Every structure is written in structure tokens, then in C-alpha cells.
Structure 1
Amino acid sequence: MVRQYILEHPEILPEAIAELQRRQTSEQLAAAGDDLTQPFPGAVLGNPDGDKVLVEFSDYACGYCRQSVEDVKALVAADPDLKVVVRELPILSEGSVEAAKMALAAADQGRFPAFHDAMYAEGRPTGDAIERAGKAAGLDMAKARAFAASERVAAEIEANRNFARQLQIEGTPAWVAGEEVMQGAIGQSALRVALYPEDR
């Protein structure tokens, strides 16, 4: 009976698939829990105490992540209540891993936004580029190197990988806003729609 109805009304399929995806995403976010939106201390762009939250999974070797930097800056500039929780997800290269570790060290020193911008401005995350970005951000480099090598940093990166697996995130950038999980350089407009569904 159901099969016959679907055959007679195939136009319901896209709506049904969208609803199934929405339910699956909701279940995945529930499984991730509130920890998903709680940043590594200092690894935040925008207002650290903001009530509107955007989670970004990123990799410093990712060109699409670099492309999205200005989109995030525009969103932050437009909403003083926006908190962007940056989850380091280094998946593209060993340089990605080292840059992610240094970013968390920058967060520990209260210099995360400065390092974040400087690292993306450098381009490919080579050892020299990471060093230049750290110095440009004003890091105590000896302290940063020690912190980057710590178990705390390794645990944070592994936690981010676990979140990505839970949410079926397969690349960067990826985003979580409200009840939506999005992947790719989707642009400022799409992020705004997800963040502010009441304005649709």
C-alpha cells in the first residue's frame, strides 16, 4: 500500500529524504552533546561569551578553509553576540597537524585569533610558515612549542576527530549551526541562513 502510494506520488520523495536527513543530523548532534559547542579554552573567534554559536572544523592546509576566513569575519563583524568555536581538524598533511597544535598553543596564550589569521595568510603550513605565524601573533615561542607537544593538545585534536566521525564529517571546512551540519566552503549567505533561521 505504501509502495503503491509512493509510485503514484513520487513528488513526496525529496521531502521524505530531507526529513530523514534532518532526523539523522538531530540524532548525531544529540550524541555529540553540549561538549561540541564548548571550545578548547581560547580557541574562539568573535565573542567568547556569545549566545549565538557557530562551530567550524578547519585545517590550515585547506584552501577552502582559507577561502572561508573572510566569510566568518563578516559574520562576526555583523553580530557582536556570535561565538565561533574553532575545532582543529588536521587531516590533509603533517603540516596541518603541527599548525593545529600551534593554534591551540596560541589559544593557551590568548592569541588564537591573531595566529589563526597569520597562519592562513602564510598559505601552506610548513615549519617555517608556522614559526612566522607564531611570531607574527606575538607568541612566546618556547612556551608555545612546549604546550603544542603536550598531551592536552593531542587529546583535543583526537576529540575533534571523534566529533567529526560522529557527525559524519569527511572534510574541511565543516560547520555546525543550530540543528544543521554543513560541509564545504558554503559561503557567508548559507552560514547566515543556518545561524538565523528566524530571518528566512
Structure 2
Amino acid sequence: MQNNNRLAVSFVTAAVVAVGIGSLWYAQSGASPRISRKADVEAIVRDYILEHPEIIPQAIERYREKQSQGAYAANKEALEKPFASAWAGDPKADVTLVMFTDYACGYCRTSLPDIDRLLADDPKLKVVWREIPILGPGSEIAAKASLAAARQGAFREFHQKMFAAGRPDGDKVSAVLRSMKLNLPQVQKDVDGEEVATEIRANLALAGRIDDSLATPTFVVNGQMLKGAVGYDALKQAVADARARAKS
């Protein structure tokens, strides 16, 4: 139902944009300005949309881009400030890529090599990971453990080993933690502690503010949002676009 409602809003928005475009077309066409009845305007707009149906997806895409940019601007600091060591790359980067991730998400796992390659190829890039455990109890256990590991400077090692272990559960999370050089009593305290719980709640709230249908993986690159395992080339292009926008 939510998806249908969002689609309806998008089409309404597109129709509003179309009215404006149609009115502009009508004014520029030289037709009499005396035609002002509602039925006349609706007919003009309808005819314009039928003649130019491509404006509907264009208007929807423009609407989504504006929403994304507005949400990014309002939440930039919260998005790009990492939790402990849950980041990699250049601390003074000119572009920051934020990844919303879940350890039970196969597409997140698929995206790991793309992120590693981006970091290897782009010394000016910073990547920030935000844990949003939305795919079950195993996701939450793994997310808490990853943030506990992050507090000991070991986020990325846990991140890679946990994904390599397969779909998360308590036994796999414990095995990954034991394979690392961590203070395990402190890990347990942090897993049960308020700081980690607060971070996860904040990430979930942040995801909702960015996009109420946000799933994993979602990437935010200086305001541009990419959903799903979009691949290395798309992510690299988003970084390049961000740099180009910064220079314009």
C-alpha cells in the first residue's frame, strides 16, 4: 500500500509539473488568453501530456532528485559523521560515500568488492558505513557486534569477515569476533550498551528521513542516492558527478 501511495504522489506531482509546462506551451503557442475556464485548461494540459508523455517520468525523476538533495542537505552532518572506525579512506576527502548496509543483505555482500575497488582507486574518497539491521534478529546481532568492533578500531575487519561468513546468526557472529584480536569482555559490554543501541536507532531514523522506502544497500554520494547493488561503474560515476557539481 505504501508503494502505491508513493507512486500516486509521484504521478500527482508529475501532473502538477505538466500543468505548468502545458500552460507555458499554451501561452507561447499564440492561442487566445481569454480561454480560462477550468475545462479548457484541463483539455490543453491533457493534450500536451498526450503529445509529450515523456514528461511524466522526467517530472517524477526530477521530483525524486530534489527530494534526495533536500534530505541530504538537512542531514549531511549526521550522514557523513562515522561511528568510531566505521569508515575508510581519506579523512579529508573531497567526496564522501555513505552506505546503508545490513549483514543479511546479499546485495550488500555483492557490493563489497566494488567499495574496496573504489577505495583502492580513489585516494581522495571517504566511505562511511551506516548499520541498519532490518532483515531479522541475526542482522541486529551482527550490527551491534560490528559497532562494538568499531569502538576498538576493527570495524572493517569485522565487516569483511562477517559478510564472508554468510547470513548472520549468533554463532557466526561469535565465531567472527573470536577470530579477531579484540577485547571480548569489552565487546560484550558494548553490544549490550546504550551507545551502540543509540547509534542503531539513529541510523534507522536517519534512513527514514533520507527516504521512507530506503532499503539495503543504499548509497548516498554527496546527495545523489543509488539503490541496490549498482556496481563499480555507477558508484565511480556518482563520485565523479559529485566532484563536478562541487566545481560548478
Work out whether residues 102 and 133 of structure 2, in 8 Å CA contact, stay in contact via their aligned partners in 1. yes
Inter-partner Cα distance in structure 2 for 1:128 and 1:47: 34
Give the aligned partner of residue 195 of structure 2: 152
Unaligned runs of 5+ in 1: none
Aligned CA-pair RMSD: 1.6
Q: Aligned-pair distance for 1:82?
A: 1.5
Whichever of the two has the greater Rg, that structure is 2
Give the aligned partner of residue 58 of structure 2: 15
Unaligned runs of 5+ in 2: 1-21, 24-44
Inter-partner Cα distance in structure 2 for 1:8 and 1:66: 44
Which one-letter code corresponds to 1:25 in the other structure?
Answer: S
Which one-letter code corresponds to 1:83 in the other structure?
Answer: K
Give the aligned partner of residue 10 of structure 2: none
Work out whether residues 88 and 126 of structure 2, in 8 Å CA contact, stay in contact via their aligned partners in 1. yes
Give the aligned partner of residue 188 of structure 1: 232
Give 3-state SS (helix, strand or coil) of 1:33's partner.
helix
Give 3-state SS (helix, strand or coil) of 2:134's partner.
coil
Which one-letter code corresponds to 1:123 in the other structure?
Answer: G
The 5 Å alignment of 1:22-171 reads: 22-168=65-211, 169-171=213-215
> What percent identity do the matched residue pairs reach?
43
Q: 1:177 aligns with which of 201, 215, 221?
A: 221
Give the stretch that moved more between structures: 110-119 or 38-47. 38-47
User: What TM-score results when the alignment is normalised by the length of structure 1?
Assistant: 0.92
Q: Using CA pairs under 8 Å that are at least 6 residues apart, name the structure with larger relative contact order, 1 or 2.
A: 1
Q: Aligned-pair distance for 1:93?
A: 1.2
Aligned length: 199
User: What TM-score results when the alignment is normalised by the length of structure 2?
Assistant: 0.75
Work out whether residues 118 and 137 of structure 1, in 8 Å CA contact, stay in contact via their aligned partners in 2. no
Work out whether residues 73 and 223 of structure 2, in 8 Å CA contact, stay in contact via their aligned partners in 1. no
Runs (4+) of structure 1 exceeding 4 A deviation are none
